[in-house]
Amino acid sequence: MLLRRGLRAFSCPLSSFQCRTINSWNFSRSLGVENVLSQFKSICGEDRVSVGQAVREQHGRDESMHRCCAPDAVVFPHCVEEVSALAKLCHLYNVPMIPFGTGTGLEGGVGALEGGVCFSLRNMDKILDLHMEDFDVTVEPGVTRKTLNTYLRDTGLWFPVDPGADASLCGMAATSASGTNAVRYGTMRENVLNLEVVLADGTIIHTAGKGRRPRKTAAGYNLTNLFVGSEGTLGIITKTTLRLYGIPEAMVSAVCTFPSVQTAVDSTVQILQAGVPIARIEFLDEVMMDACNRYSSLSYPVNPTLFLEFHGSEGSLEEQVKTTEAITQSNDGSNFQWAQDAETRNRLWAARHNAWYAAQALRPGCKAYSTDVCVPLSQLPQIIVETKEDLIKNNLTGPIAGHVGDGNFHCLMVVDPNDKDELHRLHAFTDRLARRALALDGTCTGEHGVGLGKRSLLQEELGCHTIHLMQSLKYTLDPKNLMNPGKVLLPFSRESRQG
């Protein structure tokens, strides 16, 4: 009977598709919300089920501009068995489930579009199974990247993936996050070895087999990377096993100014081509530099700028620094400032990590929205130059900061949410920017994910056959469409899935 309900759900046109889950949830309401809630409470305890408005609203939004969509209830499970039991109940009553990490997402991923239950995973915060000699660790979903690195400090190991915010590591897996270190250490896709996932019907699986943590594997389909970047639409991640790295013997940071975007990006390409194992190479345009100077009380020249960092032994650093300096000078780079001491390096990178807040401070009272297109490296100067022209032509504030070594950059758009005309120009601009990236063989999202706003763009990017395959996978894992419904894929019918 449940399967039949699921099939009907996927064969409905859009409007009834959307109504379906709500009706199902209403169905459970008619059974008595109190009845469902009391069953939740019997699983995880009275005080770990909340229907309070403030708690629901806090869990219905992330850091993006998407409006709050509060869930009907928030649960705070303590262990995977509780998550599984709660999921079984939601599955039985057709109640949507929305996983919540730390809410730092930028794509509206945690909004409860169709109501339902938010699974706030912050209480599952244990660091389990550290294998120092194997360079891996397993953590629960409430552990954030900074907490893990603080824990690891005395071991000589660290986890390098660093989105600007102190996000949960399972949330980072769910969004396939990356950050400034990705050029050297990769993104979450390269650094997750195994995941424990609770599926929509409450089944617990381990994507690489229970307890397994080999550095590489050729065993079957890559289910780990199916769930990395699935944004809560395929299951709830309740554990992740991560690769760790040795803390480098030495680090040097540098700042260098350029006369143009082209010369900054040319330097980046040449540094990578020269085989310099650069750890970070970040581009900031002159508008962003001005904002960072003001926000972080700095006095860097207001020009296109690269922030760089090198990791390695003392000897290898000298070599890396010499090669890089020569390359940047040959591209008219100037105002070099090298920093080896931790305090200066930290100040420099704090300024970069505060770019989001520095951009917002340009227009007090306004909201920020960050784009995150990614293109092949050689296309970067063209897209940045065209984008800057577009911003000026449309009178929009959008300082640019980019993980330039990966061809990924952000326009940190600052807009007045009450100005309809400006919002209209913003949407038109972000669509043009994404299509520009697609035309240059890139992607509409290098790291923030699809969430709500990029679902149509995803279709353009992947084409209908690939989208149909994704729909089939979603249908196989979640035939009732209960896992974070309305995200990543546009609503689809069973017929459209079959082409």
Ligand X SMILES: Cc1cc2nc3c(=O)[nH]c(=O)nc-3n(C[C@H](O)[C@H](O)[C@H](O)COP(=O)(O)OP(=O)(O)OC[C@H]3O[C@@H](n4cnc5c(N)ncnc54)[C@H](O)[C@@H]3O)c2cc1C
Binding site for ligand X (CB under 6 A): 62-63, 98-106, 109-110, 121, 141, 163-165, 167-168, 170-172, 174-175, 177-179, 231-232, 236-237, 356, 447-448, 484, 487
How far is residue 290's CA from residue 303's CA, in Å, rounded to a whole number?
8
| Neighbouring C-beta atoms of residue 34, cutoff 10 Å | 10
| Pick 62 or 136: Cβ nearer ligand X | 62
Per-residue three-class SS string for 43-69: HHCHHHEECCHHHHHHCCCCCCCCCCC
| Pick 65 or 172: Cβ nearer ligand X | 172
| Pick 327 or 351: Cβ nearer ligand X | 351
- Residue 482's closest CA among 14, 22, 15, 12? 22
Q: How far is the CB of 110 from ligand X (least distance, A)?
A: 5
| Pick 131 or 146: Cβ nearer ligand X | 146
How far is residue 297's CA from residue 19's CA, in Å, rounded to a whole number?
52
Q: How far is the CB of 275 from ligand X (least distance, A)?
A: 25
Q: How far is the CB of 17 from ligand X (least distance, A)?
A: 20
Tokens of 306: 């690269």
Q: How far is the CB of 487 from ligand X (least distance, A)?
A: 6
Greatest C-alpha distance within the chain: 73
How far is residue 238's CA from residue 61's CA, in Å, rounded to a whole number?
21
Q: How far is the CB of 4 from ligand X (least distance, A)?
A: 28
**In this structure, are strands 97-100 and 127-131 parallel, antiparallel, or unpaired?**
unpaired
| Pick 99 or 442: Cβ nearer ligand X | 99
Q: How far is the CB of 400 from ligand X (least distance, A)?
A: 14
| Pick 94 or 168: Cβ nearer ligand X | 168
How far is residue 460's CA from residue 131's CA, in Å, rounded to a whole number?
43
Total residues belonging to the chain: 499
Check if the beta carbon of residue 381 is closer than 8 Å to that of residue 387.
no
Which residue number places its CB atom closest to ligand X? 171
Helix/strand number for the chain, H first, E second: 19, 18
| Pick 12 or 226: Cβ nearer ligand X | 226
| Pick 63 or 461: Cβ nearer ligand X | 63
Q: How far is CA 185 from CA 66, 180, 258, in A?
A: 31, 10, 26
Q: How far is the CB of 117 from ligand X (least distance, A)?
A: 12
- Report the alpha-carbon angle 92-172-44, nearest 5: 35
Could you tell me which residues are beta bridge partners of residue 256? 306
Q: How far is the CB of 238 from ligand X (least distance, A)?
A: 7
Q: How far is the CB of 258 from ligand X (least distance, A)?
A: 22
Task: Classify 246 as helix, strand or coil.
Answer: strand
How far is residue 32's CA from residue 331's CA, in Å, rounded to a whole number?
69
Task: Quote the radius of gyration of the chain (alpha carbons, Å).
Answer: 23
| Pick 178 or 387: Cβ nearer ligand X | 178
Q: How far is the CB of 143 from ligand X (least distance, A)?
A: 10
How far is residue 309's CA from residue 342's CA, in Å, rounded to a whole number?
12
How far is residue 45's CA from residue 55's CA, in Å, rounded to a whole number?
17
| Neighbouring C-beta atoms of residue 31, cutoff 10 Å | 11
**In this structure, are strands 97-100 and 117-120 parallel, antiparallel, or unpaired?**
parallel
| Pick 181 or 263: Cβ nearer ligand X | 181
| Pick 180 or 331: Cβ nearer ligand X | 180
Q: Which amino acid, 339?
A: A
Q: How far is the CB of 63 from ligand X (least distance, A)?
A: 4
